[in-house]
Amino acid sequence: MARYDSVLDLVGDTPMVDVSALSPTESVRIWMKLEGKNPAGSVKDRVALALVQAAEADGLLVPGKPDQFLLEPSSGNTGIALALVCRLRGYHLKVVLPDNVSPERRQLLELYGAQIIDSPGAEGSNGAVRRARALAVDNPDWVFLYQYANPANPAVHYATTGPEILRDCPEITHFVAGLGTTGTIVGVGSYLKEHRPGLQLWAIEPPSGEMVDGLRSLDDGYVPPVFTDADGAALLDRRVVVRPRESVEWTRRLTELGLFVGISTGAAMAGAVRCAGTVAEGDEATIVVISPDDGWKYLSSDAWSGDLDEVVERASRTIYF
Partner 1 sequence: MAVTVRIPTVLRAATGGERAVSLDGTTVGEVLAKLVAEHPGVEDQVFGDDHSLHRFLNVYVNDDDVRYTGGLDTPVAPGDEVTLLPAVAGGAR
User: How many residues lie near partner 1 (CB under 8 A)?
Assistant: 23
CA atoms of 178 and 245, how far apart (whole Å): 16
119 catalytic, yes or no?
Answer: no
Please identify which residue in 60, 223, 235, 257 interacts with partner 1, judged by CB under 8 A. 223
Of 39, 114, 108, the residue nearest 70 (C-alpha):
114
- Are the C-beta atoms of 30 and 254 separated by less than 8 Å? no
**SS3 call for 95:** strand
With respect to partner 1, which residue has the nearer C-beta, 56 or 220?
A: 220
**Smaller CB separation from partner 1, 142 or 222:** 222
Under rule CB under 8 A, residue 241 binds partner 1: yes
Instruction: Give the span between the Cα atoms of 189 and 80, in whole angstroms.
Output: 25
Residue 134 near partner 1 by CB under 8 A: no
Pick from 215, 223, 169: nearest CA to 192: 169
Segment interacting with partner 1, rule: CB under 8 A, options 31-39, 90-98, 127-135, 257-265:
127-135
Min separation Cβ 180 and partner 1, Å: 15
How far apart (Å, rounded) are the C-alpha atoms in residues 281 and 180? Answer: 32
- Residue 279 in the binding site for partner 1 (CB under 8 A): no
Among 221, 231, 299, 310, binds partner 1 (CB under 8 A): 221
Residue from the set 236, 261, 312, 319 that interacts with partner 1 by CB under 8 A: 236
- SS3 track for 33-78: EEHHHCCCCECHHHHHHHHHHHHHHCCCCCCCCCCCEEEEECCCHH
Interface segment toward partner 1; rule CB under 8 A; list 3-11, 175-183, 234-242, 250-258: 234-242
Residue 229: CB minimum distance to partner 1, A: 10
Q: Which of 239, 245, 252, 253 binds partner 1 (CB under 8 A)?
A: 239
Among candidate residues 42, 190, 264, 301, the one labeled active-site is 264
Decide: 238 and 203 in contact? Cβ < 8 Å: yes
- Would residue 264 show up in a list of annotated catalytic residues for this protein? yes
234 three-class SS: helix
Cβ proximity of 210 and 316 under 8 Å: yes
Looking at 14-22, 157-165, 172-180, 220-228, which segment touches partner 1 (CB under 8 A)?
Answer: 220-228
218: helix, strand or coil: coil
- Report helix, strand or coil for 254: helix
Check residue 231 and report its DSSP letter. Answer: T
Binding test (CB under 8 A) with partner 1, winner from 24, 151, 225, 306: 225
Please, which residue, 130 or 196, has the CB nearer to partner 1? 130
Q: Which of 92, 195, 196, 238 binds partner 1 (CB under 8 A)?
A: 238
CA 17/CA 203 separation, integer angstroms: 20
Cα separation, 51 vs 53, in Å, equals 6
- Which one from 44, 94, 297, 301 is the annotated catalytic residue? 44
C-alpha to C-alpha distances, 121 to 88, 102, 200, nearest whole angstrom: 30, 11, 35
Please identify which residue in 133, 196, 245, 253 interacts with partner 1, judged by CB under 8 A: 133
* Catalytic residue positions, numbered: 44, 264
- Residues in contact with partner 1 by the rule CB under 8 A: 126, 129-130, 133, 149, 207-208, 218-219, 221-223, 225, 228, 233, 236-243
